Homo-oligomer: A and B are copies of this chain.
């Protein structure tokens, strides 16, 4: 079993670094005070912190050592009994673990780009000419990213189903999810200095689950020519735990061969994705205790690898900082049951999803809860990404 990193607090307590260990939340500040990390030359104050950023900035040698020491210690069950550093997961509050500087959203799943292009443009030319030459991306909003368990109000905005009439002001009628993974940057590059694709993964601290909430009707009207804005920046949801990239070594899997061949700065000797199962559940307002699985996807369904995303992002000299977030874009597999958004699952709202008798959905209703879960599993070993859970509240006005 391996640990994941997060930030927790107990009632009336300050925020501290946490390690997830099964159903336990381990207080890393307490472990530091017990001397477990003394040989690593890390200031103890790093573990008493509102965010993981200072810890991540120590570098992989130290953060991996903290992980390995913790795992070895916790693996002995006796070390966990009646210890004040070990909290039941239900007894603590988990917080947004990363102070996010800049957030970038990619568009790296071919099936997703194809589906959207086929719906909105032309199935015969669903992918735009640039799509197979570069990992398309845009900048998103960092301030409105919140941790799992935080809910949001259905956003208002301008909607116009036609381009020839006047827009109306309304709460979104096409509230959607986007099933994504987020990469947490662990090592900065200086402005002007591109990151070589062979070194790109050295800049990755780890991965999280991400739900990039989207208002499709607002998006349709606003997005030309400069891209999505209010359709996305009202809220995004992040899981509380960061899984270090090193933990995923057993789950590496060859990435799809790219055709046409990409430019040299994007070429990889050994293209790899990560085999992480992703599931989307809806708990409809009518049955708020019941989870209905609506999609099964996988982090490996990416045409553009994380290394390619980083090499591309920085090829112009753009500087990435510790704590920046690079999201994958919606991850859709080839079969319809693996599509990562309701837009695709219902094909633009045309084919409602029947959850149970009398309950179906195209887009989301107030009171609906969405849970994204992630886990990697192989030969009995399992890495649990936890979940990101969010409920849709009614609009504020």
- Residues of A participating in the B interface, judged by any CB pair closer than 8 Å: 101-102, 107, 128-130, 133-134, 136-144, 146, 152-153, 155-158, 160, 163-164, 166-169, 191-194, 215, 218, 221-230, 233-235, 260, 263-265, 312-313, 315-321, 324, 396-397
Contact B169 A222 (CB under 8 A): no
How many Å lie between the Cα of A168 and that of B265 in the bound state? 11
* CB-CB nearest in chain B for A101: B143
Contact of A317 with B263 at beta-carbon distance under 8 Å, contacts A138-B139, A140-B139 already known = no
* Contact across chains for B155 and A397 when beta carbons are under 8 A apart: no
A367 to chain B, nearest CB (A): 16
Complex Cα spacing A265 to B158, Å: 10
Bound Cα distance A221, B133 (Å): 10
* Complex: A318 Cα to B142 Cα, angstroms: 10
Of chain B, the residue at the smallest CB distance from A162 is: B129
Pairwise interchain contact A192-B319, C-beta atoms closer than 8 A: no
Cβ contacts under 8 Å, A133 to chain B: 158, 160, 166-167
Whole-angstrom distance from the CB of A116 to the nearest CB of chain B? 8
- Whether B319 pairs with A137 at a CB distance below 8 angstroms is no
The one of B233, B313, B317 in contact with A139, judged by C-beta atoms closer than 8 angstroms, is B233
With contacts A318-B234, A396-B192 known, is A130 near B224, CB below 8 A? Answer: yes
Task: Decide if A130 touches B226 in the complex (CB within 8 Å).
Answer: no
CB distance from A175 to the nearest CB of B (A): 11
> Given the complex, which residues of B lie within 8 Å of A152, measured CB to CB?
191-192, 317
Q: Flag if B265 contacts A128 (CB, 8 Å).
A: no
Q: Is the CB of B315 within 8 A of A167?
A: no
Evaluate contact between B107 and A141: CB separation under 8 angstroms. no
How far, in whole Å, are A155 and B193 apart by their CA atoms in the complex?
Answer: 10
Q: A265: nearest residue on chain B (CB-CB)?
A: B169
Closest B residue, CB atoms, query A138: B226
Q: How far is the CA of A157 from the CA of B135 in the complex (A)?
A: 12
**Besides A134-B222, A230-B316, 19 new A-B residue pairs in contact (Cβ under 8 A), listed by A number:** A128-B225, A137-B229, A138-B138, A138-B229, A139-B141, A139-B233, A142-B142, A143-B191, A143-B320, A144-B317, A146-B191, A152-B191, A156-B317, A157-B315, A166-B260, A169-B265, A215-B316, A225-B227, A230-B318
